[in-house]
Amino acid sequence: MEQENIYTRSLANTASYCVTGDQLEIYSADKQKLLIFKRKPEYPMNPADLVGTSWQLIYINGDQVTEGLSIMLTFNSKSEASGRAGCFDYELPYEASGDDIRWGMKTERNGELPQELEFQALRYTDSIIWASNYRLTTDGLEIYTAKGDILVYKSSQIQ
């Protein structure tokens, strides 16, 4: 909350800005630098390349998925994805254009998990709903969220 309050106050005190290259700087009336934004990279992606692929999550923000927890994501068609995060089955109707991706989410609980695994599964389902961009790499799939999370997947066989 503290960081949110500082951010909101900074925006309210904005008097000028400067764009240099990939950076936006926000200044107060007394020329104090309040905020710095860096342009989000855009990746040349073709959403059709997602269809028919299946992925296993390996990292959430650099934290490795806990051993014993399997989190999967499958792109079934050009507008439907699904998966499983531990005991949570989910469906993701989605829209993708270039590297932009947006989706809704419907989850259903099927079973129980130990508390540590359930916590990470819920962390994932909370994060993925905020997806904003994606990037296919030679090693896998990266999903970037509006909350600033990065989900990293490796390719998996469709089951």
pTM exceeds 0.95 for this model: no
User: Where do the structural domains in the chain lie, given as residue ranges?
Assistant: 2-38, 47-156
- Please check whether the domain covering 47-156 is classified as CATH 2.40.128.270: yes
How far does the chain reach from its first CA to its final CA, in angstroms? Answer: 43
The 10s digit of each residue's pLDDT in 71-81 is 999 999 999 99
The 10s digit of each residue's pLDDT in 40-49 is 888 889 999 9
Return the residue matching tokens 């309050």.
5
For residue 158, give the amino acid letter: I
For residue 123, give the amino acid letter: R
Pair 29, 15: CB distance under 8 Å: yes
Pair 58, 73: CB distance under 8 Å: no
Among 134, 109, 114, smallest CA distance to 66 is for 114
